[in-house]
Every structure is written in C-alpha cells, then in structure tokens.
Amino acid sequence: MNADQERWVTYAGRAGRLAQGFIFLCVGLLSAWAALRGGGRATDSRRALHTIVQQPFGQAVLLALIAGLVCYVLYRLLAAFADVEGQGSDAKGLALRARSLGIAFIYGGITAAAVRTVLGSRSGRGGGDQAARDWTERVMATPLGSSFVILIGTGIVVAGGYQCLRAWRRSYEKRLQLDQLPGETQRWVTRICAFGIAARGLVFTILGVFLIQAGLQSDPSKARGLGGALDSLHAHPYGRWLFAIVALGLAAYGIYCCVRARYGKIGRT
C-alpha cells in the first residue's frame, strides 16, 4: 500500500475501535445500572442499540456509530485478506487473520442490527441469547454438528483464558503508545485496561462453557449470548455484586478500545 492508503486504513481502524469501545461502554454501564438497582437483566449489544435510539439525538448518535462499525468491519476484512496488520502467512499469522475475519462477521451482524434499529425495525429484541441459540441449532443440524459446537466452545474458553493472561501479564501495553501521558495517568489507564480485558476474558469463558454444555447435551437452548452470560452470574453467591463488577469491567474494556483508538498501534505501525 502507498502512504495515502495506509493513512486511510489507519483512520478506519481508529474509527472502528472507537465505535467498538462505545458499544462496550453502553453494554457495561447499562448492565451495571441494572444490577445495582436490583433485579435488572443484563444488556447486550442489541438492547443497547435500542436504548441509544430512544435518547435525545439517538438516531444521529446511532448513525455515527454505524459509520464507525462499518469502518471496523472493513478494517478487519482488510486485516484478514490484505494482511494490513502484517501477520504473515505462517500458521500463527493465518490463525490471526482468520480471527479478524470472525470479528468482521460478528461486527457485521451488530452493524446490521444497528441499521434495522435506525429504520425502526423491532426485530432482534430477543437479544443475543436467541441469536446464539439459532446459530447453535444450525450448526448442530450439520454432520458432527454437536462435536463442532463443543470444539468452538473450547476455543472460546481458551480465548477467554488468554485474555485473562494478557491482563495479568499486561502484554496489551505493547500495543499502546502512552508516552505522552503523565506517569500517574498512565498507571490508571493501564489498570482500567487490565480490568476490562480480564472481565471480557471471563465473559468469553462463560460463553464457551455454555456452548460446550449445549454440544454435550445436543441442546441449542443451553447456548447464551453476552446478556445471558452476565445474567448467569446471578446464580452465584453475591451474584448481584459479581454481575455489577463484571459489567463495569466490560465498560472498562470499552475504555480500553477508546484508548487504543487514540493511542494504539494500528496496521503495520
């Protein structure tokens, strides 16, 4: 790519990260509010979109969010097929590029849901749980479908554990350029980022466990989306507070995405 193309790819990556961060902030804060006021359900991305559009200037905010999400999907597609992140073509590089393709698919679905919300459609109000069950049911309808669901669930659990390890080792810091921030601000930013990445890793692990359970029992209804994963925390001792802490962690992950949008390394940089 020439310099102009690289600059536009960088813009797309930063705009996309900002949109991703806004989504996680909304999901985390709305879910935490539901937990703290008692008895509320978790918010997933679809419910967050409906909440946004109901606010003053909500449609304008949602249109801006759609633009950012489109940028993120395009950036991830470029990372998968044009290798704008320089991952290479060895086994590890191909795995990371396949991951980018999967992320593009997920955020393409969120973008489509946002467009439907702007157009006034109320479809998808069942949230991510129903989408997860529908997807699991389609996979199970294929030969060796249950085994494939177990394999995917195991992969998600491993990914969740890896996110927690990243938070513990603070390896994410190599993707950030925080030198221009004061020392105390840097410390707080990195702590918030670690909290957010760990919370996201925990949610990934819960999602994967539910998916493994669905595969083992050949029961798609066991699958959960983001909201269902958070709601499952209510079953544990002090579940309301655990729910609130993890929800705030997802909001912290939104802050991490926003930090990466501003101070992160994008593309081959």
Per-residue pLDDT reduced to its tens digit, 60-105: 999 999 999 999 999 999 999 988 888 888 988 898 899 899 999 9
CA 1 – CA 21 distance, rounded (Å): 27
What dihedral do alpha carbons 138, 142, 147, 148 form, nearest 10°? -60
Question: CA dist 159 to 44, 154, 204, 210, 212, Å?
Answer: 20, 9, 7, 14, 14
Evaluate if residue 153 carries a pLDDT over 90.
yes
The C-alpha atoms of residue 244 and residue 254 are separated, in whole angstroms, by 15
Give the 3-state DSSP-derived string for 168-221, with helices as H, strands as E and coil as C. HHCHHHHHECCCCCCHHHHHHHHHHHHHHHHHHHHHHHHHHHHHHHHHHHCCHH
How much of the chain exceeds pLDDT 70, in percent? 94
Whether 261 has a pLDDT exceeding 70, the answer reads yes
CB-based burial, 141-161: b 16+ in 10 Å, e otherwise: eeeebbeebbebbeebbebbe
pLDDT digits (tens, 9 = 90+) for 214-254: 999 999 988 988 888 888 887 777 777 888 899 999 999 99
As given in the structure block, the two tokens for residue 230 are 């958070």
What integer pLDDT is reported at residue 21 of this predicted model?
94
Q: Which residue has the tokens 């590029």?
A: 97
Do residues 112 and 62 touch, judged by C-beta distance below 8 A? no
Kindly state the average pLDDT of the residues 151-176. 92
For residue 7, what pLDDT band results from cuts at 50, 70 and 90?
confident
Q: With CA atoms as reference, report the closest residue to 21 among 263, 262, 258, 260.
A: 258
Residues 111, 70 contacting (CB under 8 angstroms): yes
Question: Comparing C-alpha atoms, which of 49, 50, 44 is closest to residue 31?
Answer: 44
pLDDT tops 50 at residue 124: no
pLDDT in the model for residue 41: 67
**What's 90's DSSP letter?**
S
> What is the reported pTM?
0.88
Measured distance CA(211)–CA(156) in Å, rounded: 9
Q: Where are the domains of the chain?
A: 3-263
Q: What is the pLDDT of residue 158?
A: 94
pLDDT of the residue at 38 = 67
**Cα–Cα distance between 194 and 200 in angstroms, integer?**
10
pLDDT on residue 267: 63
- Beta-carbon contacts of residue 237 (< 8 Å; ≥ 6 apart): none
| Band of residue 255 on the pLDDT scale cut at 50, 70, 90 | very high
The answer on pLDDT for 203 being more than 80 is yes
What's residue 43's pLDDT?
73
Q: Are 76 and 51 in contact (CB under 8 A)?
A: no
- 152 pLDDT band (50/70/90 cuts)? very high
- What average pLDDT does the segment 132-159 reach? 91
pLDDT of residue 234: 74
Identify which of 106, 49, 113 has the alpha carbon closest to the alpha carbon of residue 77: 106
Output the average pLDDT for the chain.
Answer: 87
Q: What is the pLDDT of residues 16-72, one digit of tens each?
A: 999 999 999 999 998 888 877 765 667 778 778 888 888 888 889 999 999 999 999
Residue 122 scores a pLDDT above 70: no
| Structure confidence at residue 269 as a pLDDT band (50, 70, 90) | very low
Q: Is the dihedral of CA 32, 107, 46, 239 positive or negative?
A: negative
